Amino acid sequence: MSRGALLTLEQTWELAKLWYADRLSPEWRRRTVPETVAAFASLGLTGEFWSLA
Amino acid sequence: MDSLLTDVRLYIYGQMIATSAAPGVPETAAALGRAVEDVERAYRTLAEQKALVLRPGTTTVWMVMPFSNMQTAFNVICEGRAYYANCAWDAFGIPAVLERDANIFTTCADCGGVLQRKVACGRLTDSRGVVHFALPVRRWWEDVGFT
């Protein structure tokens, strides 16, 4: 079984800001799969755990 | 996202932020001046789109991310109001959404001790600690409550 992933609190805060920045916008829409993968990658979150392929 | 879906989604968020509780279908329908059936359909559509999560078999909001409409182990105090977050990530998501300072309280998954972290002026004041993500991303929506 996978041991999962560990993020520092700084990484988690950066992820939260990126993920929720536009949530209250009327134009908000759910990210597509490529957009989600790119968002994670922009914070260095890559590899099998963060993949949606 | 069509106009009704947007109006319903933003009304739910607005009420969650103002009251710490998500409104039910009748309240939202009355506030928006729309038929209950139309708003109920909007709740279900928003859930299908993963814009929110409903309690199983109901139209009661469970999660309107990052907020939880049920008590959780992640308590966030912001502008004098207490909110529940769905997980550690979402606990930081609340000050991110509100763009406000916040105090986050939870318990350590290792020792059970109380943990408090603060976001002030857009920064963490104490970044000690880690967050464990148990499931890989592709499995997050298999059982989002567990995730």
User: Can you give the pLDDT at residue B1?
Assistant: 60
Chain B's closest residue to A52, CA to CA, is B138
CATH architecture of B3-64: Orthogonal Bundle (1.10)
Q: Where, residue-wise, is CATH 1.10.10.10 in chain B?
A: 3-64
Radius of gyration of chain B (CA): 16
Q: Between chains, do A4 and B1 touch, taking CB under 8 Å as contact?
A: no
Which residue in B16, B117, B123 sits closest to A14, CA to CA?
Answer: B123
Q: Between chains, do B127 and A52 touch, taking CB under 8 Å as contact?
A: no
Q: What is the pLDDT of residues A18-27, one digit of tens each?
A: 999 999 999 9
Low-confidence winner among A34-38, B103-107, B130-134, B140-144 (lowest mean pLDDT): B140-144
Q: What is the average pLDDT score of chain B?
A: 93
List of chain B residues whose C-beta atoms are within 8 Å of the C-beta of residue A28: 1, 9
Q: Is the predicted pLDDT of residue B83 greater than 90, yes or no? A: yes
CATH superfamily of B68-142: Alkylmercury lyase (3.15.10.60)
Contact with chain B for residue A34, Cβ under 8 A: no
Q: Between chains, do A26 and B127 touch, taking CB under 8 Å as contact?
A: no
- Say what the pTM is: 0.92
Which residue, chain included where needed, has tokens 């979402």? B90
User: Can you give the pLDDT at residue B132?
Assistant: 87
Chain A's closest residue to B5, CA to CA, is A26
List of chain B residues whose C-beta atoms are within 8 Å of the C-beta of residue A9: 92, 117, 124, 127-131
- Using CA atoms, how far apart are residues B20 and A21, in angstroms rounded to an integer? 20
Q: What is the pLDDT of residues B9-34, one digit of tens each?
A: 999 999 999 999 999 999 999 999 99
- Using CA atoms, how far apart are residues A9 and B88, in angstroms rounded to an integer? 9
Q: Between chains, do A23 and B135 touch, taking CB under 8 Å as contact?
A: no
Yes or no: say if A15 and A43 are a contact pair by the CB < 8 Å rule: yes
Q: Is the predicted pLDDT of residue B64 greater than 60, yes or no? A: yes
CA distance readout (Å), A29 to B14, B49, B52: 17, 9, 12
Q: Is the predicted pLDDT of residue B147 greater than 80, yes or no? A: no
What share of chain B has pLDDT > 70, as a percent? 99
Low-confidence winner among B8-12, B121-125, B140-144 (lowest mean pLDDT): B140-144
Strands of chain B (E only): list them.
Answer: 53-54, 61-64, 67-68, 74-78, 81-85, 102-107, 114-120, 123-124, 130-133
Q: Is the predicted pLDDT of residue A1 greater than 60, yes or no? A: no
Q: Where, residue-wise, is CATH 3.15.10.60 in chain B?
A: 68-142
Contact with chain B for residue A41, Cβ under 8 A: no
What torsion do the CA atoms of A13, B147, B112, B71 make, to the nearest 10 degrees? 90
